[in-house]
Amino acid sequence: MPEDLQLLIDGDWLAGSGPLLRSVNPAHPHETVAEGATATGAEVERAVTAAAAAAEGWRRTPHHERGAILARAAAALRTEADAFGVELSREEGKLGAEGIGEVRRAAQILDFFAAEADREAGELYASPRAGESIVVSRHPVGVVGVVTPFNFPIAIPAWKIAPALSHGNTVVWKPASVVPLLAQRLARALTDAGLPDGVLNLVVGAGSLGQAIVDHPLVDAVTFTGSTTVGRSLIAACGAAAKPIQAELGGKNAAIVLADADLPAAIDDVVAGAFRASGQRCTATSRLIVQADVAEQVIDGIRARIESMVLGDPTIAGTDVGPVITSDARDSIATAVRAAGARTRLLTSGDLLPDIDAGYYVRPTLIEVSDTRDPLWTDEIFGPVLTVTRVPDVDTALRLANDSPFGLSCALFTSDLAVTLHAMAELRVGVLHVNSETGGADPHVPFGGTKASAFGPKEQGRAARDFFTSMRTVYLQGRR
């Protein structure tokens, strides 16, 4: 029986007035996971108005009380992690263990930002004037619009909403319309934990709702994760309104395997980086740069791993790769692979689009590229496709890794400390993994890219407060 989808506006769970939305299982598209009426512009207006009305009371709520609500929500997510994780797998297509792990990560994120109340909240500076001190304090920015993607349907919302709430902001949240159930689970965990009415509002529906949130004059700031195309349009809209925006966009992440690396470990990590979550991660490995001396060994090892992978229902034990999110995503990936130029070589076998219960499956694919201008090498595909090229030396590898408009994540596999230090200085990415895969983000450290992969302050860790708070400089003169 499908779950009923509802909106959350000013503390009330209610049906939308827009078209019906069916969230389907990408492994079994005939199966409806959740359904309900979507929001319209009228509901966005009510949600923003509610958030603005709740802002003053929430700002004045002591930070420790706000943190306690987040901590209670985290505990609820941990209790329901197994059940919610299976729902995540059915709605988004991740393997069961990955879905459960994501719910637990969301709880970990809530706990981290719950503890912000125990950390320093400002700075004290000396003054050049006698009897005076200078204090820099932090304050909420107000109403925050949150627009999130499908690929981490509870973790990414958590790492935006948790710092927003912890620092005293109210939220209007529009999740990706293909994963509404997990959005509802997170919102209910927070409201059940005691979040006051209007502090968090959830509107589900078409992409135009995100634009309506961004354009609303009562929304003070926007945080977005999603495609580069949509992100740039929102950045432009916020720029025109002089409205702060934090945007995490696309990636075309490289893994560099040098001749001195631990090759079996590197192969394991490259495979995990490229094909975990069916390659639908902004930090997924999509380019492999391997030193020519060990190229055959590395390519053969990856190919053998791919050929042994089991595609199928992600909730069933023994499955290695689940479906991609929609039929459109599947077709887009297939089109990109089939359009590969003459200077590419397919290294894996089998049907690219296997017919498994009409699910949205794409077979993990390895393609060697000799012309790094080919779109397979340069463009984000967002699926289980790994391109590989050979290089003669370290400098060529680093240059090629940097030769991209994106700069989110990179993995370097080497046992040479001098090379590692050189790469740390030269690679233009926001996240560098040395001897581990390109994916992964811990909640207590900053996350985000450079170049076309990001815009605005970093996410997560203490860096999050740079976006979710405004600073005030106060001159305290204590004349007697």
- Would you please indicate which residues are annotated as catalytic (active-site) residues? 248
Please tell me whether residue 398 adopts helix, strand or coil conformation. Answer: helix
Q: What is the distance between the alpha carbons of residues 272 and 275, in angstroms, rounded to a whole number? A: 6
**HEC profile for 141-199?**
CCEEEEECCCCCCCHHHHHHHHHHHHCCCEEEEECCCCCHHHHHHHHHHHHHCCCCCCC
Q: What is the distance between the alpha carbons of residues 465 and 335, in angstroms, rounded to a whole number? A: 41
321 burial via Cβ count (<10 Å: 0-12, 13-18, 19+): buried
Strand positions, DSSP E, 185-322: 200-202, 221-225, 245-248, 253-257, 285-291
Q: What are the residues facing 447 on neighbouring strands?
A: 459
Residue with tokens 């995503």, as numbered in its chain: 329
DSSP secondary-structure letter at 250?
A: -
Closest CA to 98 of 413, 431, 383, 439: 439
Measure Cα distances from 199 to 25, 109, 173, 390 in Å. Answer: 31, 19, 11, 52
Q: What is the distance between the alpha carbons of residues 391 and 412, in angstroms, rounded to a whole number? A: 14
Q: What is the distance between the alpha carbons of residues 366 and 352, in angstroms, rounded to a whole number? A: 11
The residue type at 422: H
